Amino acid sequence: MGYPGRLIAVEGLDGSGKSTQIYLLKRWLQLQGLKVFFSEWNSSELVKSATSKGKKMELLTPSTFSLIHATDFADRYERQLLPLLKAGYIVLCDRYVFTAFARDVVRGCPLEWVRGIYDYACLPDLTFFFKAGLEVSLNRILDGRPQLKYFEAGMDLKLSSDPYESFRIFQGRILEQYLAMSTEFNFNVIDANQSIEPQQDIVRTLVSKKISLSKFRFVLK
């Protein structure tokens, strides 16, 4: 990557448990007194109002859906991720460019177009892919919320008028896309059907093997 910092990304389907895992990783790193920054997909304040308006009113097409998420990413990347990597931080990302590569392509955007839009972004030092069975993901999503959201279920693709059926087909296609790029981008595939602790154990082991953590302590001169 060429910057003093390190970039770690987690990817996976909705309900794969990746957010829990990256949260536990963040806590572990923070409690060691390391310079850590955490960033979430689709969280830039400025772009948020447009995104939520677009989603609520179902104004988004595959292209504008793709572009508005790319705008959100660019805002976070240029204002936070990149400067922090230059400043020697361990940057943790809950979803990264691969989310766009998978989702936008399933929505029908050309692969090269989507990849081209994100080509200024550096690739992570470590990418964890949490691979859960579709039923497991679906159950996890439904446990927390009573209903599936329109775009989350891929309802815009008119795969099925039943949100659950649509979600199943949509997530299945996204999973295919993820698996297809797994080798190309060196995903560390974690079996997300198992319980939280053994997964976190693998994550922490890999992180400490790949990154000399002691170099990322706060040193104030």
Q: Which residues bind other proteins (CB under 8 A)?
A: 46-47, 49-50, 53-54, 59-64, 67-68, 70-71, 74-75, 77-79, 107-110, 112-113, 116-117, 119-120
What is the number of other CB atoms lying within 10 angstroms of the CB of residue 86?
12
Q: For residues 40 and 75, which CB has a smaller minimum distance to other proteins in the complex?
A: 75
Q: For residues 1 and 46, which CB has a smaller minimum distance to other proteins in the complex?
A: 46
* Least distance from other proteins to the Cβ atom of residue 173, Å: 14
Q: Which two tokens stand for residue 162?
A: 């039943």
* Least distance from other proteins to the Cβ atom of residue 61, Å: 5
Q: For residues 10 and 117, which CB has a smaller minimum distance to other proteins in the complex?
A: 117
**In whole angstroms, what is the distance from residue 199 CA to residue 100 CA?**
24
**In whole angstroms, what is the distance from residue 30 CA to residue 49 CA?**
31
CA angle 125-136-166, nearest 5°?
95
* Least distance from other proteins to the Cβ atom of residue 26, Å: 25
* Least distance from other proteins to the Cβ atom of residue 64, Å: 5
Helix (H, G, I), strand (E, B) or coil at 221: coil
**In whole angstroms, what is the distance from residue 141 CA to residue 164 CA?**
11
